[in-house]
Amino acid sequence: MRSDVIRRGVERAPHRSLLYATGLTPEEIDRPLIGVVNSHNDLVPGHVHLDRVGRAVKTGVSMAGGTPLEFNVIGICDGVAMGHAGMRHSLPSRELIADSVEAMASAHMLDGLVLIPNCDKIVPGMLMAAARLDVPAIFVSGGPMLAGRLRGRNVDLNTVFEAVGEHRSGRMSEEELGELELAACPGCGSCAGLFTANSMNCLTEALGMALPGNGTIPAVTAARLRLAKRSGMQIMSLLREQIRPRQIMTEAAFENAVAVDMAIGGSTNTVLHLPAIAYDAGLPLPLKLFDAVSSRTPYLVSLRPSGPHHMQDLDEAGGVPAVMAELLKHDLLDGEPLTVAGKTVAENLKGVSQTSKIIRPVEGAHRPDGGIAIMWGNLAPDGAVVKAAAVAPEMMHHRGPARVFDSEEPALEAILGGDIQAGDVIVIRYEGPRGGPGMREMLMPTSALAGMGLDHKVALLTDGRFSGATRGSATGHISPEAARGGTIALVQEGDEIEVDIPNRRLTLLAPEAEMARRRKDWTQPEIRITTGYLARYAAAVSAASEGAILR
């Protein structure tokens, strides 16, 4: 056992003494030591209940003959951090989480890990750590929030964000907004739509790193606690068989995850996180692979923000296994990769079928290609990302004048102030991984556009990124970013820009000679933050097209 280095032999008497000081018995110290990595806190609705999930996991570990040892990591609520300087810390927290899990597990020589994330950056951060450490590991998230109910309709956090724009345009009273606030998020769990948190929790299943049901079983159900207990027990099987993350997270497994991502229309943030996880697993995952998989994978599931359904509906329809079974039936998935269940993908899916209207058959897909599109062109030579599934048909091809802003706040002010007109192309730049720094999400501008009825009439482009809750023609991750001298830094007010999603093109329609002149005149802007973690992050972070990893 890996933990023998801290508990076996006369020379380890001091180490055992410290373990005894925690209340462990000799019998417990003699068993495999399993780290239970919990992101529980009192600030984030997706995490407030993870103490119960953690207790269930520890029960499962103990039932199967292990000694569970719990420690915590940070977790940021993107919703609370949205629309202000706090959002700069969201994406960078992914690296802090990965580093802290790596440090704790390595310093204490833990034999295996059960990882309990739920929200946006916590899932990929923990997956990155699991890939680095390559000790037996399994994931069990806290599960999705139920949709709220108000006046006979389902509502969620995104409904509230969009309601701000409705209120500003006079379409909703302050009293109605207050009523919605109280109803939209009815309890614990990751926000109810297929936003980034739930996208990533679904992809832990597709990668093979979580048991079936992890992505969709609601947070408030007893089934979620039973899944936690089973996951605690299963880590002991993985330890006995020495099945490790890098045996599971292979190139084929990542391609499966991308295929499921495209079939369910996941968050564009997955295009940041999967390459970062693959990097720590020692594997390449270029944007061109996302493009190739998207071109052949039909879009089968239309969940919020792209459609009317919520995570609980997908769970009732059979969850991620039902989606994977439909893809496997049409040879759109590889059945050979190993999973934490100790079985291959195909073995896990034996007997699973798709019979619900929530999950369409391949023959009747919402669209023949994936829910996410990778964009290229002179405005994004290294790529950009749009959630095509959430774009209105009339905005799939759009050409209009640029409205240019060098940060999120003035753009939001212009939208809410009525300064944006139908046909405009909003450009928000210097919000990339380095320029932000931290690559803020732009949910408030996109929600304001939707709430004011402009999401079918205005396109938005940024070198920052978008929440999984964003809908409309919103293209992010434009690379190279403005702070690195990308073409987006050269756009001027009134320039014509063409957004052609079907042909995957993002084009600044300006003469080459004019672009050369602008490039010659461009100067590197001052870094916004010069102290602390964000300054170090800005100095080390790679491009969004590479997963915004730290080198």
Cβ distance 518 to 490 under 8 Å? yes
Contact between residue 368 and residue 486 where contact means Cβ atoms under 8 Å apart = no
Residue corresponding to tokens 């076996």: 8
Distances (CA, A) of 101 to 74, 104, 131, 167, 228: 10, 5, 11, 43, 19
How far CA 331 is from CA of 203, 219, 346, 439, 523, in Å, comes to 19, 32, 11, 36, 50
- The partner residues of 36 in beta bridges, in order of sequence, read 70, 114
The structure tokens listed for 158 are 């995104």
Shortest CA distance to 127 belongs to which of 189, 12, 204, 193?
Answer: 204
Pairing state between β 137-139 and 112-116 = parallel
**Number of continuous H segments (helices) and E segments (strands) in the chain:** 22, 14
d(CA 287, CA 476): 13
Residue 225 CA to residue 219 CA, distance in Å, equals: 9
Which residues form the catalytic set? 467
State the Cα–Cα distance between residues 67 and 108, nearest whole angstrom.
Answer: 13
Counting beta carbons within 10 angstroms of the beta carbon of residue 139, is it exposed (0 to 12), middle (13 to 18) or buried (19 or more)? buried
The kind and range of the H/E element at 519 are helix 512-521
Distance from C-alpha of 286 to C-alpha of 273, rounded to nearest angstrom: 12
Q: What angle do CA 318, 264, 498 make, to 5 degrees?
A: 165
- CA-based R_g, the chain, Å: 23
- From CA 398, how far away is CA 454, in angstroms rounded? 13
Q: Using CA atoms, how far apart are residues 112 and 132, in angstroms rounded to an integer?
A: 13
Please state whether the peptide bond connecting residue 298 to the residue before it is cis, i.e. omega within 30 degrees of 0.
no
Contact 200, 209 (CB under 8 A): no
Closest CA to 158 of 200, 205, 197: 197
Beta bridge partners of 142: none
Q: How many CB atoms lie within 10 A of CB 530?
A: 9
* Closest alpha carbon to 46 in 137, 152, 156: 156
What does the block give as tokens for 369?
A: 């290609």
What is the Cβ-side half-sphere exposure of residue 532, based on CA atoms within 13 angstroms? 8
Proportion of the chain in helix, strand, coil states, percent, rounded to 5: 45, 15, 40
Q: Are 155 and 184 in contact (CB under 8 A)?
A: yes
In degrees, rounded to 5, the angle at the alpha carbon of residue 201 between the alpha carbons of residues 307 and 131 is 145
